[in-house]
Amino acid sequence: MTDLDDEIPAGHVRRPRFSIVWIIPIVAALIAAYLGYRTITERGPLLTLTFSTADGLSAGQTELEYKSLPLGTVESLALSKDHRNIIVKVRMTSVGAPFMTSSARFWVIRPNFSASGISGLGTLVSGSYIAVDPGLSGGASQDKFVGLEEPPGVRSDEPGSTFVLKADNIGSLGSGSPVSYRDVDVGEVLGYSIGNGVGPVTINIFVRAPYDQLVRLQSHFWNSSGISAGLKNGKFHIEVQSLQAAISGGVTFDLPPEAINSPPSPDNSTFPLYASQDVADSVGYHRKIPLVTYFQSSVDGLTPGAPVEVLGIQVGQVTDVKLIFDPVLSSVKVRVAMDLQPERIFRDQLVPSVMLGDVLQKMVNKGLRTEIDTANYVTGEQIISLAIVPNVAPAQVTREGDAFVLPSQAGAFGNIVASLGTISSNLAKMPFGEIGDNLNTLLVTTNHTISTAQINKTLAALTQTLATANTTLTTLSHSYGGDSDFQQNLEQLMSQANDTLRSVDLLTSYLNRNPSALIRGRSPQ
């Protein structure tokens, strides 16, 4: 035995000493247990999303967020069995579990540069993430979803109303195109569907509150896509709704004055989408009087939609231009159908329908006729003008179904063409050939009459006369002296005589070269 054993009393048991080193692993174990318990208690269900691409998504990093609040994290990415889609597994938190309902929609937020705008710039720094819209409350529980490829135009927490538009074509409209009222952006296009490909295109739009209250049953929607350019009242007209509408298209609507007291349109109401504002404005006139007229002159430049004017004021529009062939008379003429819109003329009172025939007949008796006028001589655009023509032959207003047939006559431009045609016919009848032959005969006779021999004979006689006069005057000069007044006057007379003789000589030479100058005059050259 050792000395130490000798010191321990008999019957006493030795206890092991506790080391402080054990505190660290114990605390670590407690923390791990707490974290595990918290993870288990906060661990939510597994969400399965299907996307067409995994662009921007990373397992263990990409989060699912709602208003910047994390609701889950992507656990894994895998290809679908057909290799067409990406299956994304997202582990939701207990906070995100209530978002897994049939009303929810999921999509990926990435940097997006398009004609309708720029979005998702923040993800250039933080990375892409999955966003969710919980939708309306009351949806059934669901853990599998097909993700959206584009962010939805309307969120469940954004007040407003959706409407449906019908159109033959959509132009440059697309998802995200703006909806405007008086040049104010009040909504956007959600999407469109062509249905069976035969009927009209269905366009869904969203109008934010409180602007959705401006949509009434009398409102008109028109396509304001791109840049509208054309002729309006004979002038070149260009219109741009906005820069965004010029690039990505847009829809515009109005609130007619007569609808100011009407109730707002209910959600999902359907409206026609007109091609332009002019068409929408024309449709706003509810009463139309169908008219028909016939022309036997050219209607080049007259198209459906052309205005019908009275004294330069539009009162209607052309609806149809058609060529008619009469096999019995073997003749052709152009049938022009129009809609007269009396509301453009009479705002407060309208002529009763039963009196329209009598009123039109009275106006025709006073000279009312339809004419084709040229609105622009450069482009050739033509319009229909209702004019009072004085001193015209009587005509009768007839009917074709519901339409009144008005008499017509050539317009001002047609009269000018007819006058030019008459002048051309008269000029064609003039015997220019015979006139030319007669002039040639006259010139030959003149040349023969005024011959060179006769002119030379006359010139020789004049020369002999002047020589005799010079001899006589010289004799007189010697008789009167060199310094006398007679001598001075005589010298002046001789100088003038010599000038005259020189001029006659020049004239004779010119006539020898140009004998016809006696009739036609001297040539400018």
Question: Containing domain of residue 509, as a range?
Answer: 435-520
Of 283, 299, 333, the position where a domain reaches its end is: 283
Quick check: pTM over 0.75?
Answer: no
Q: What is the C-alpha separation between 266 and 258, in angstroms, rounded?
A: 18
Of 252, 283, 314, the position where a domain reaches its end is: 283
Question: What are 154-177's pLDDT values in tens digits?
Answer: 787 789 999 999 998 887 788 788
Q: What is the C-alpha separation between 24 and 323, in angstroms, rounded?
A: 102
Collapsing DSSP to helix, strand or coil, 369 comes out as: strand
Q: What is the C-alpha separation between 512 and 491, in angstroms, rounded?
A: 32
| 51 shares its domain with 141 | yes
With the CA atoms of 155, 161, 162 and 165 taken in that order, what torsion angle do they form, in degrees rounded to the nearest 10? -150
| 29 inside domain | no
Question: What are 102-148's pLDDT values in tens digits?
Answer: 889 999 988 765 544 555 555 556 678 999 999 888 788 899 999 98
> Quick one: what percent of the chain has pLDDT higher than 90?
23
| 237 inside domain | yes
Amino acid at 178: P
| 318 shares its domain with 389 | yes
Q: What is the C-alpha separation between 378 and 201, in angstroms, rounded?
A: 37
Question: What are 291-315's pLDDT values in tens digits?
Answer: 999 998 888 888 888 888 888 888 8
Of 422, 443, 465, the position where a domain reaches its end is: 422
| 392 inside domain | yes
| 327 shares its domain with 373 | yes
| 170 inside domain | yes
| 338 inside domain | yes
Q: What is the C-alpha separation between 333 and 295, in angstroms, rounded?
A: 6
Taking residues 307-327, what's their average pLDDT? Answer: 87
| 177 shares its domain with 229 | yes
Which structure tokens are listed for 303? 């198209």
- The pLDDT confidence band at residue 414, using thresholds 50, 70 and 90, is low
Compute the C-alpha angle 72/75/76, nearest 5°: 140
| 95 inside domain | yes
* Count of structural domains within the chain: 4
| 504 shares its domain with 394 | no
| 490 shares its domain with 455 | yes
| 22 inside domain | no
- The pLDDT confidence band at residue 1, using thresholds 50, 70 and 90, is very low
| 415 shares its domain with 318 | yes
| 323 shares its domain with 386 | yes
In this structure, the number of other CB atoms found within 10 A of the CB of residue 188 comes to 20
HEC string of 177-234? CEEEECCEEEEEEEEEECCCCCCCEEEEEEEECCHHHHCECCCCEEECCCEEEEEECC
| 448 shares its domain with 510 | yes
Terminal C-alpha separation, the chain = 162
| 362 shares its domain with 271 | no
Residue 457, C-beta contacts closer than 8 angstroms, at least 6 positions apart: none
In this structure, the number of other CB atoms found within 10 A of the CB of residue 363 comes to 15
| 456 shares its domain with 501 | yes
Place of tokens 């969203």: 206
Answer for the pair 100, 143: CB distance below 8 angstroms, yes or no: yes
- The pLDDT confidence band at residue 228, using thresholds 50, 70 and 90, is low
Answer for the pair 243, 178: CB distance below 8 angstroms, yes or no: no
Question: What are 32-80's pLDDT values in tens digits?
Answer: 777 776 666 667 889 999 999 998 899 999 999 998 899 999 999 999 9
HEC string of 118-131? EECCCHHHHCCEEE
